[in-house]
Each structure stands twice: as C-alpha cells, then as structure tokens.
Structure 1
Amino acid sequence: MTVCTGNICRSPMAEVVLRDRLERAGLADRVVVDSSGISDEEDGNPVDRRAASVLREHGYEVPRHRAHRITPDELGQRDLLLAMTARHARWLRTQAPDEEAAARVRMYRSFDPAAPGLDDPAGAVADESDLDIEDPWYGDRRDFERTLEQVEAAADAIVEHVRGLLR
C-alpha cells in the first residue's frame, strides 16, 4: 500500500506505477497494490486531474479511484506500507497495531538507488525527511512531473523487494 496525505496525488500515482511494473514483471496475479491517505479530507474524491493527466501522458492507464483514509485493519494486514514522507511514516508507525506492522513501514524513496543519503556505505539515511516526495498539489504541472519521476525511480527496486518477499 502506498500512503500519502489525502490519497489523491502521490499515493495513487505510485499505485498506478507499481501496478504497471508488477504486471510487466509477471507478478500482477500475486500482488495487490492499493493506496490510502492518513487524512480523510479527500475521502471519496478521484485522483487529482493533474496527476491523472501526467500519468496518462506517460502511458499509464488511470483506473477509477476513490480516496480513503487508511484503516486500522489495513495497517495490520499489508505486507509493505510505502510512505511518501517521513511524517506519513511516523504516523503509520504510531498507528500500527503492533511492532511487526510498524516494521513494515518504509519510505517509498528508500528504494530509489539515487535518493539522497543512500550512497552512504552503511546504507543509513541521516534523516528520513531527505526521502520525502513533496506534495505536488500546491504546485504546477512540473511538480506533478517531478513526483512521477521520483515514483518511477524507486519502482523497479520495490518490485525486486516484493519478488524477494514472495520467495
């Protein structure tokens, strides 16, 4: 599950990209990808029109989507929770039903080999917020393009991680 604030921009963009990559990897029938938000402010709304436009222009099919806030059941049931920002990751970890669920929270960009801080030999990131995917909602088209670039940059490594979990 990909997670952002309102579930109308970043997390649905990541959901669409991951579904596409998992399908290409032949794993679509073994993996469910969905998305949610930590807030209910956009509950029921579709993907932001700007996010949908950028996805379509890059060759992605944008399915029907209704934004929703992550539920306690979802927090406990998902094998991997991919947070768009450090704030989202902290919230997910504090809301997780147990330590095992909290340990399944990862920063989405922690899978991007070119992300800041990941070239450290120890593999440590000084501050998780260095891996934030900023909210494009407040910006212009270029901000949505940048979000898609960041989402795509981590997607293949996420697919490989999931492949490893399936073994």
Structure 2
Amino acid sequence: MATLDSRVLELIETLVTARLDWLAFELIEGIRFGRTAEESEEVLAAARQSIRSDAQPKARGEPQVLLAEPEPIPAGEQVEWAAAYVEERLETALEQLQASIEALDFIVESTNEPEDPQDLAQAASSKTEQGTALVLVDVEGDRKSSREDVAGARDEFPALRAALAEWATRTRGQATI
C-alpha cells in the first residue's frame, strides 16, 4: 500500500471544491491500492480462443494465483498517475451522462408520441429543443445536468486536459513533503 504523495493533495482539494468528492475518494483509494497487474496479451488471446471454441479449461501444471499483488505507485509517479486518472474518469463520466440523457430522451419521446398520424405531424413540427435534464437532489442542493451542460463540458474538456498537464508539470518540480 503506497503512501499518498503530498503534492497530490492540491488536486484532491480542487476536486472537493468542485463538488467531485466521489472522484477525490477514488483517486485516494487508487493510489493507496496501487496498480493491478494486467494479463499478458498471450494469456488474454488464449482465454478468448478457449471461450470461442467452447472448450473446457484444462488444468496444466501448478495452480496459479488469479490476482497478482497490486504494485504500489511510487511517490514520484503519483502526480502523473493522478492527472491521467482524473482525466480518464471525467471523460468516462461525461460519456455515461451523455448516454443516460439520450436514453431518457428516447424514453420520454416514445411515451409522449401521439398515436394519430395528424397529431404526430403537428407534434413534430412544433417540437422544441427542451430535451431531458437529470436532477440529483442531495444535502448540498440540486445538481442539474442537461444536454447543453454535457455538450459544454465536452467542449471545455481540452482545456481541462491542458490544465491537468500543466498542474502535473508544475507539481513534478516540487519537492515531496
């Protein structure tokens, strides 16, 4: 289990300030847990082939450990790892939010469609761009995400990517405490 590099605290505080506590907790946990070992390409290819051929797995040699011990992330690498992790998770969250909004739009549109063809044509011509908005209510207040919010966040994502890269570069030169 790795010790948290104090230089990562600035990013964690920024995430908390931005109401991304969930991501701050994931980041801390990821650093504490470390990197998990990945299967080699040969092992993955053999597993895919075995599944495709519907073959029963055969025991060969000594039993092997299924999950290798996680490798700690050294303090010097935590800054880069944290920046990459935050970028990846936020990009994934935006993609999931977009997919959720599209699914909700489909559900709302399919349940509100008139059955009469004349009413359907009239509804299509008067349709506005209102769309669906997700609203989460918690103790800190409402959190609303609409199609426009997601599009705006996607448009600003290159700026976030650049800011994370700048933070990692600036922070890399600082001494750890």
TM-score range, shorter chain: under 0.3
- TM-score, reference length from structure 2: 0.24
- TM-score, reference length from structure 1: 0.25
Larger Rg: 2
